[in-house]
Amino acid sequence: MAKNRDNFSPKITKELERRVNGRCSNPTHRVPTSGPSSKVESSNSIGIAAHITAASPGGPRYDASLTQEERKHINNAIWLCSNCATLIDKDPKTYPVELLQQWKKSAELEAQEEMGQIPVSRKTHEQLQALVFGDLPFKRAPDAVSNICHLVASKYKELDPRFDVEIGYQDGKTICTFSATEPVSFAANIANEFALEFREKFNDLISHGKDLEIDAKAITLTGSKLFELTNNQATKFVLSTNLRKNAVTKIEVLDDEGILEFSLDDVLGELVGGKKSVTFSGSTYQGLIAIEFTYEFGESSSENCTISTEIDFSSWNTKTLLTLPYFEKIYKYYDALFHGKSIGLRLEIDGEKVISGNGADFADEDHVGRVYSLLRYIRNVRAILKFIGTDVPYAENIRLSLNDVEDVEYFYNLLIEHKQMRGEQLGTVSFTVIPHIGEVVQSSIMSLMSGEANAIRIEQSFGQPLNLYGTKITLPRIAISYSRMRAQDPINLTQVIPGEAISMKLIPLEDCAMHVELHKSATPVNA
């Protein structure tokens, strides 16, 4: 069998090992593959010149299109430790040709970068690990990242004590924040191709306090060792104003006469300023609602402020509809926005009023309409769920048809809204009576037929399930009671024929009230 294998020559094997600095090419297992033996004149090796495509037919990843010379060429070889060499041949589907070629390329590139560099010793590695983790178990890796950031920040601060330095790591990027603790003079050289962009953004920074964010290649700073260190390393440059204050905005909903109906919980945030305007950004209800508005200097009130309102539903994803936090307050707020209620605004810093006024506008009326429609549907579903004694999970990306929404609106009105109505607000009630032979028609029905006022109780069942926020539930049987109704068109009782349907339309009297309750032993059924 050995005669049929296209093995590598000793020269190729030696060069292959040297091209990766004698380490395994598996990027997750870059271990040294050679070391001294007990005999002074010899060494031990666990390295193997493995074939990327097999040396003989039937082997892993064998490629019949290669010539014998191509199969024995260094291009078809990869240096691995014995464990990894065995691994790739036992599972060729997991380790295809393309992957092994990438391993080889990366290992050679890494060896090239390391050539001439002082390697990190085991002792140094252990010291670094102790510095990062301390006595913490490895599972406390987030603390280790924090320790590294704190260590780097302290070293940066030593370069220029005039700055507080914060180092963060997020989404694969290192974020360095330098905050001057005293006036610092510096110079900025702006690249020609970024001059116009920089000028516009710098004007926005000075006039309105907007962050100046630009490609790091656009600007070179001098005046601090910190700048010199980071000039050629950063990918993005952000310059922020220090004209910022923690602030509280109070948003009030007023009736037509300017009387307070209700107010949102305090919106906590930050006021950022420039020469021409200030912008407030904040949130309330634990981040469910975000508020932002800009106030131009020179205006006498906030009447020309445009408020941007956003809602973040993601924190509701683990809740059920009946346990949604702050729902009633948020619905009430969007209901007021949708119906054009007057909005009062008051901004305070350290308890002192800074901006106030009534009649603020909203930036995106379509957003208000969309959110209100969804919240109204949720309100209706919640009321129905409370009535029938069950609950369903909330889901952020639910799909609803117009029929689903209209059906829920109908049952909300039937089960909830009508209970608060009186008299003609209840509307007419139509139903059919079929008296059978020998059956004594109830006296209440008879009196209604004849045109007298009377109370009536109607029991109703529902065949089709109702889509309650993605869960289809068949509503239980209900009983509807009206306190005082009369027939719109009285019926001559002498003309009633047993077995023949009689259509009736009842109208409520002025003091008529409606009551809805579940039928005894009724339970909702998941469809």
Partner residues linked to 432 by β-bridges: 503
- Kindly state the helix (H) or strand (E) to which residue 50 belongs, with its residue range: strand 47-51
In the predicted structure, residue 50 carries a pLDDT above the cut 90? yes
Higher pLDDT, 490 or 91: 91
> What gap in Å lies between CA 478 and CA 167, rounded to an integer?
63
Q: Which residues neighbour 403 within 8 Å (Cβ) at sequence distance 6 or greater? A: none
pLDDT of the residue at 522:
45
Is the pLDDT higher at 377 or at 228? 377
Over range 75-86, report the average pLDDT.
94
pLDDT exceeds 90 at position 206: yes
**pLDDT at residue 399 tops 50:** yes
pLDDT of residue 301: 45
For residue 242, what are its two tokens? 């220090």
Mean pLDDT of all residues in 301-318: 78
Q: What is the pLDDT of residues 146-190, one digit of tens each?
A: 777 888 888 888 889 999 989 887 877 888 888 888 888 888 899
What pLDDT sits at residue 331? 95
Backbone angles phi, psi at 286, to 5 degrees: 55, 40
Enter the pTM of the model.
0.59
Q: Give the CA distances from residue 428 to residues 274, 460, 484, 485, 508, in Å, rounded to whole numbers and listed in that order.
A: 62, 16, 12, 9, 7
The closest of 299, 313, 443 to 371, measured between CA atoms, is: 313
Is the confidence at residue 381, as pLDDT, over 90? yes
Look at 251 and 258; give whichever has higher pLDDT: 251
pLDDT score recorded for residue 298:
67
Burial bucket for residue 73 (CB in 10 Å: 0-12, 13-18, 19+): middle
Q: How confident is the model at residue 303 (pLDDT cuts 50, 70, 90)?
A: very low
Residue 453 confidence (pLDDT): 82
- Residue 442 clears pLDDT 60, i.e. is over it: no
Q: What is the structure's pLDDT at 526?
A: 56
User: Average of pLDDT values for 13-42?
Assistant: 91
DSSP 231-275: TTT-SEEEE--S-EEEEEEEEEEE-TTS-EEEEPPPEEEEEEE-S
pLDDT above 50 (res 204): yes
- What share of residues in the chain are helix, strand, coil (percent, to 5)? 35, 30, 35
pLDDT digits (tens, 9 = 90+) for 230-242: 777 778 888 899 8
Measure the CA–CA gap between 52 and 33, rounded to whole angstroms.
19
What is the pLDDT averaged over residues 459-482? 82
Given pLDDT bands bounded at 50, 70 and 90, which one contains residue 433?
A: low
Q: Cα separations (Å) of 171 from 174, 175, 221, 314?
A: 9, 10, 26, 20
What is residue 438's predicted lDDT score, i.e. its pLDDT? Answer: 46
Distance CA 451, CA 486 (A): 6
pLDDT of the residue at 496: 64
- Total count of residues recorded for the chain: 527
The mean pLDDT value of the chain amounts to 83
Which one is predicted more confidently, 235 or 65?
A: 65
Question: What is the structure's pLDDT at 498?
Answer: 65
- Cα dihedral sign for 88, 93, 94, 95? positive
* Residue range 351-372: mean pLDDT, rounded: 80
Residue 203 clears pLDDT 90, i.e. is over it: yes
What pLDDT does 286 receive? 92
What is the mean predicted confidence (pLDDT) over 280-288? 94
Q: Give the separation between CA 460 and CA 101, rounded to whole angstroms.
A: 73
More confident residue, 387 or 416: 387
pLDDT, tens digit (0-9, with 9 covering 90-100), for 89-127 = 999 999 999 999 999 999 999 899 888 877 766 666 666
> Averaged over 390-397, what is the pLDDT?
89
Q: Return the pLDDT at 437.
A: 47
Percent of the chain with pLDDT over 70: 85
